[in-house]
Amino acid sequence: MNTNQELILIKNGELALKGLNRNTFEAILCKNLRRNLKHIGEFDVQKSQSTIYVFPKTDDADLDLAADRVSKTFGIAAYSRAKMVEKELGAICRACADYFKDTLSLASTFKVEAKRADKSFPHPSPEICATVGEYLLDTFSNLQVDVHNPDVTVVVEIRDFGAFIHALQLPGAGGMPIGTGGKCGLLLSGGIDSPVAAYMMAKRGITLCGIHFASPPYTSERAEQKVVDLLEKITPYTGYAELYVVPFTHIQEEIRDHCPEDLFTLIMRRFMMRCATALAKEKNCEALITGESVGQVASQTIPAMACTEAVTDLPVFRPCIGMDKEEIVTISRKIGTFDISIEPYEDCCTVFTPRHPRTRPKLAMLEQAEQALDVEALVDEALKNTYRRKILY
Ligand code: ATP
Ligand code: MG
């Protein structure tokens, strides 16, 4: 580590680590950070005394982009950009004035906070605050001290291998590091809800395996690309993501030709669940995730969801279940998927939609209607023709 270098400091404080010890948690978090930063430049990720340090290894490394990636990495409570300085009070004063010159020259008030983790440093914290504070008052004639409500807070930390100066911490993405919560099959449409469901489950440390049903020529290549774009948009949060595309045309045509129109959507959704379950198990997933929300559409009433869930023996997680559309939209804007989700391409769910879908179906009714189909052969055929799409991140 060089002194006089800008870097990112990550601190997790007291994390809720039930069931996972701190070392495992931090080791996975460091691995995820290395992976998330790998594609944007050369960075060193190191852990020391419950702080994780992200150092640029080259002069041209983009620290703005790295900070953005850090802010989207789950398992981080708070982080800050910092400057590393030699552990000498004069050097610290000069570095504070230089590092904060843009904000301090525009501010009216400030305060200095000091933490001395390295007790061998000869100056106690109050002395560090007083010395740095005086130096800044001398340097910036516009400034006054306000310890209660300052415009700018300058933090000085004396640690084992250097002094660090930084502003107040920024909130991290929270949650658990990806990979600590197992793996789930994500039913991903091109809509607004399922990318939000993906984000919410990834936040709990779950690795995602995307599953998308496509019905060409009723759905276009562009609709499939939209799903790839959505997944790429959330990979800074989800880390690694896979996407499997299941050809769904034959299944939908068979339902259209042989089943009652009012049951079409529900039978189709039961087929989605069957295919997703088989595929998810093959990919070592332990549960399925959907973007369903109670009452949003006819197929999302409680009886309808009970009927679709009846064909799978995997747990089905629906993180949006109790949310209003407005709340879902707010998250989708925050994670940057909204603008892609509203691109107008057909989803297979909107192909052959019944005029009067049933909202209170009975399981027996659906099982009866499905007898007109060779369910197993249709599922097998769809899975045989399933293909993997490459996701960039
Ligand atoms: P979304 O924004 O998730 O598309 P929606 O309101 O359009 O929400 P539906 O189309 O009824 O919801 O679908 C409900 C859920 O079923 C979706 O959230 C998604 O998990 C799954 N789903 C729908 N269509 C597909 C598809 N083509 N491929 C994979 N999963 C799908
Ligand atoms: Mg949809």
Spell out the per-residue pLDDT of the chain, length 393, in tens. 566 689 999 987 656 566 668 888 899 999 999 999 998 899 999 998 778 999 999 988 999 999 999 999 999 999 999 999 999 999 999 999 999 999 999 999 999 999 999 999 999 999 999 999 999 999 999 999 999 999 999 999 999 889 999 998 999 999 999 999 999 999 999 999 999 999 999 999 999 999 999 999 999 999 999 999 999 999 999 987 899 999 999 999 999 999 999 999 999 999 999 999 999 999 999 999 999 998 877 788 999 999 999 999 999 999 999 999 999 999 999 999 999 999 988 888 878 888 888 888 899 999 999 999 999 999 999 999 999 998 887
Contact indicator for 211, 56 with CB cutoff of 8 Å:
no
Ligand 1 centroid to 152 CA: how many Å? 46
Which ligand 1 atom sits closest to the C-alpha of 186? 20
So what's the pLDDT on residue 207?
96
> Which tokens hold the place of 391?
């996701």
CA atoms of 252 and 288, how far apart (whole Å): 21
Nearest ligand (C-alpha, residue 187)? 1
Q: Of 220, 229, 240, whose CA–CA distance to 188 is shortest?
A: 229
Nearest ligand (C-alpha, residue 194)? 1
Contacts 24+ apart (CB under 8 A), 331-335: 331/196, 331/199, 331/200, 332/192, 332/195, 332/196, 335/195, 335/196, 335/199, 335/233, 335/234, 335/237
So what's the pLDDT on residue 315?
98
User: Atom 16 in ligand 1: which residue has the minimum CA distance?
Assistant: 290
Cα separation values, 29 from 52, 112, 171, 249, Å: 9, 30, 16, 41
Which ligand 1 atom sits closest to the C-alpha of 289? 20
Q: Of 316, 293, 320, whose CA–CA distance to 185 is shortest?
A: 316
Ligand 1 centroid to 299 CA: how many Å? 10
Contact indicator for 242, 209 with CB cutoff of 8 Å:
yes
Amino acid identity of 140? F
So what's the pLDDT on residue 19?
60
> Which tokens hold the place of 363?
């399981």
Alpha helical stretches, state H, the chain: 22-38, 63-71, 89-99, 101-106, 125-139, 193-202, 221-238, 249-258, 264-282, 302-309, 325-334, 338-341, 363-370, 375-384
Nearest ligand (C-alpha, residue 320)? 1
Residue with tokens 């049903």: 213
Strands 109-116, 152-159: pairing kind: parallel
So what's the pLDDT on residue 94?
97
Amino acid identity of 145? V
Residues with CB under 6 A from ligand 1: 187-189, 191-194, 211-213, 290-292, 296-297, 299, 347-349
Return the number of other C-beta atoms located less than 10 Å from residue 6's C-beta: 14
Cα separation values, 27 from 31, 172, 178, Å: 6, 18, 12
CA atoms of 157 and 114, how far apart (whole Å): 6
> Which tokens hold the place of 362?
């009975």
To 10 degrees, what angle do helices 89-99 and 125-139 make?
50
SS3 185: strand
